[in-house]
Chain A
Amino acid sequence: MTANERRDGRTRLPLPVLALAIIAILFFALPLLGLLMRAPWGSAWEYLTTDEVRTALKLSLICSLWATGLSIVFGVPLAWLLAKVAFRGSAAVRALCTLSMVLPPVVGGVALFAALGRRGIVGQYLDQWLGIRLPFTTAGVVIAQTFVAMPFLVITVEAALRQLDDRVEDAARTLGGSRWYTFRRVTLPAIRPALGAGAVLAWARALGEFGATITFAGNFPGTTQTMPLAVYLALETNPEEAIMLALVLITISFVVLVLLRDRWFGRRQVQTYEMQTYQLQNYDAVG
């Protein structure tokens, strides 16, 4: 270590490590750069204002927000159960409920068919008794997206609930708060940053969902063709359009992240979030 380095208290990164890190950065930056350079900027407006694209975009936003909402409504209680209640087989339940994170999404779609398809173990009764058919409908898209997205919310919220000091809830009880009042006024606000991060993760996963959706809900413009499906379809017919659509998806994700970053996260949550986003990219690569 030279005198200078000692003085400012920093250690220089070993050269091989630095080189590998830079390669990693390029690995992520180059695809984005490629999209930007190959984008047909001249005719961008025409591509983006076609009915097909607007329909797919609208459907994507509506379905992914529904999936996020359902993930919150069912995922927070599930996270609470996993974090706070010690019961036999809780590890197995956790594994089961987060399986779809590591499962190839196509497999998830097939599994949903087996359960909720017209001949599925539950789906046949939904059809016969209630006349509800989920496959190849917009509701089916929401189901498929929720199936793959909810675990991201569950693990994020569960971790936050575990870190929460139980005694803070005790304090609320001694002050006259019922269990429900304490949950609403103390527990929920305390995990709000994690809930926000988990919701964004789940939403991002739902927005990008492809495999389970195309398997379970098909690819019908207007009812089940979301943006990722439209991108895939366009790639076969018109690569320029595919690139524009991909850029739209990236822009939406980016804008939402920037907006939420200021709103919901302290610095630490942002770091956690970014770490998990990285994991998310990995899972997508698997699917």
Chain B
Amino acid sequence: MTLSADVGVRLGSLDLQAELEVRDGELLALLGPNGAGKSTILRALAGLQPLDSGRIVIDEIAVDEPATETFIPPEHRSVGVVFQDYLLFQHMSVLENVAFGLRARKTPKADARRLAAEWIERVGLTDYADDRPHALSGGQAQRVALARALATGPRVLLLDEPLAALDVGARAGLRRELRQHLDSFDGMRVLVTHDPVDAYALADRVAIVSEGRIAQVGTLADVTAHPRSRYVADLVGVNLVAGRVVDGVLTTVSGAAVVIADAPNGPSLAVIKPHSITLVRAPDPGSSVRNVWPGTVVDVDRLGDRVRIGLGGVLPLTAEITTAALEQLELRPGDEIHATAKATDIEVYPA
């Protein structure tokens, strides 16, 4: 049971040619900047954007294939969508919103309301069942949108930037909550996001979308450590370090310590940009740099005029330096080196 899609769409200046596959129970994140075509892929999967070429197959049934003039309209696909700003029906109560899909599929009214009430309970909004959507907070609206999309029991769940409409302060908590809800759905899931942190927290695999093409697919760890192009490196080629923050120091499971500028205690995710890491042969005791990690050069990848140095050790890192710096340092795989980073250059997100 899989979703496989070869999406060919021409839309204005966008020329979309993207192949992707989602396995049962898997969450694939489409990661890329605005205008790359991520949302158009999602619309094509949902049936809101007919293909110009290619083919979309859900559970071995072709739902869109221009070559054979096959097109199953959105209302007959087993696909649920959580839209970017949720698009709840403002003239209906929360309960009616969640019951909408069931009613549209001819479920008797009493049954639809009972099932919708169960979904609302599952997302913890029973007290709001009779409220209008405008009375809800962003996070609550997101849960209603999720319950509404899942109530009809779709095989595929599509999420378009589900966290983008929320303010920054609320995102971390809601990201965790969304993850719990997504984990309880065992179908295929596709998430569109421009934020690597979302992808890290929610996705099993990521597909990097760039100018209508899939630039690279893999696990996030794989893609961030080994970006195959300058573009992917700039977009997601960051060091993601998971650990627990205690009093301004994040400690990883393997015992590496990362000194950070202030962040609340608790499980967190640190983002260290490769270009903010400085490599030195011998650490300077007079420096203000708070983080000095010893490591071994594992690989040297040239991407244009820059070089990505993979470091092994207690804290595996990727550093980015210029070719000139590489020649000056005369780095070779196997060399012992120190990576340094200022605490203020490290971003920390509660996980």
Q: Contacts A177-B75, A177-B100, A178-B75 known; A172 to B89 CB distance under 8 Å? A: yes
Q: Which residue of the partner chain A has the closest CB to B86?
A: A171
Complex Cα distance, B83 from A186, in Å, reads 16
Q: Contacts A181-B104, A185-B100 known; A174 to B80 CB distance under 8 Å? A: yes
> Which stretch (A9-17, A65-73, A162-170, A200-208) binds chain B?
A162-170
Complex Cα distance, B104 from A177, in Å, reads 5
Q: Is the CB of A168 within 8 A of B89?
A: yes
Q: Which residues of B contact A178 (CB under 8 A)?
A: 75, 104
A131 to chain B, nearest CB (A): 45
* Interface flag for B33 (CB, 8 Å): no
Which listed residue (B46, B103, B105) contacts A174, Cβ 8 A?
Answer: B46
Q: Which residues of A contact B89 (CB under 8 A)?
A: 168, 171-172, 186, 189-190
* Interface flag for B87 (CB, 8 Å): yes
* Interface flag for B25 (CB, 8 Å): no
Q: Which residues of B contact A170 (CB under 8 A)?
A: 43, 46, 48, 74, 83, 87
Q: Is the CB of A192 within 8 A of B91?
A: yes
* Interface flag for A25 (CB, 8 Å): no
Complex Cα distance, B103 from A185, in Å, reads 10
Complex Cα distance, B149 from A181, in Å, reads 17
Complex Cα distance, B39 from A167, in Å, reads 12
* Interface flag for A34 (CB, 8 Å): no
Q: Is the CB of A173 within 8 A of B100?
A: no
Q: Contacts A178-B104, A185-B100 known; A171 to B87 CB distance under 8 Å? A: yes
* Interface flag for A176 (CB, 8 Å): yes
Q: Which residues of B contact A1 (CB under 8 A)?
A: none
* Interface flag for A92 (CB, 8 Å): no
Q: Is the CB of A175 within 8 A of B152?
A: yes
Q: Is the CB of B104 within 8 A of A176?
A: yes
A29 to chain B, nearest CB (A): 38
Q: Is the CB of A173 within 8 A of B75?
A: yes
Q: Is the CB of A167 within 8 A of B104?
A: no
Complex Cα distance, B105 from A165, in Å, reads 23
Total contacts A to B, CB within 8 angstroms?
A: 65
Complex Cα distance, B91 from A192, in Å, reads 10
Interface residues on B, range: 20 to 34
B52-86: which have CB < 8 Å to A? 73-77, 79-81, 83
Q: Which residue of the partner chain A has the closest CB to B102?
A: A176
Q: Is the CB of A175 within 8 A of B149?
A: yes
B158 to chain A, nearest CB (A): 8
Q: Is the CB of B74 within 8 A of A174?
A: yes
A287 to chain B, nearest CB (A): 37
Q: Which residues of B contact A173 (CB under 8 A)?
A: 47-48, 73-75
Q: Which residue of the partner chain A has the closest CB to B101?
A: A175
Which listed residue (B48, B83, B101) contacts A176, Cβ 8 A?
Answer: B101
Q: Which residues of A contact B79 (CB under 8 A)?
A: 174
Complex Cα distance, B46 from A171, in Å, reads 10
Which listed residue (A174, A185, A186, A190) contacts B48, Cβ 8 A?
Answer: A174
B84-138: which have CB < 8 Å to A? 87, 89-92, 100-101, 103-105
Q: Which residue of the partner chain B has the closest CB to A189?
A: B91
Complex Cα distance, B81 from A175, in Å, reads 8
Q: Contacts A177-B75, A186-B89 known; A172 to B104 CB distance under 8 Å? A: yes
Complex Cα distance, B47 from A167, in Å, reads 13
Q: Is the CB of A175 within 8 A of B46?
A: no
Complex Cα distance, B84 from A167, in Å, reads 10
A260 to chain B, nearest CB (A): 18
A191 to chain B, nearest CB (A): 10
Most A Cβ at <10 Å: residue of B46, B80, B91: B91
B315 to chain A, nearest CB (A): 44
Complex Cα distance, B100 from A175, in Å, reads 7
Complex Cα distance, B112 from A185, in Å, reads 15
Q: Which 10 A-B pairs have the closest CB atoms?
A: A175-B101, A176-B104, A173-B74, A177-B104, A171-B87, A189-B91, A174-B81, A176-B105, A174-B74, A176-B75
- 14 contacting pairs across A/B (C-beta < 8 A): A165-B87, A167-B83, A170-B48, A170-B87, A171-B81, A171-B87, A172-B100, A173-B74, A174-B47, A174-B81, A175-B149, A185-B103, A186-B89, A189-B92
Which residues of A does B touch, CB under 8 Å?
Answer: 165, 167-168, 170-178, 181, 185-186, 189-190, 192
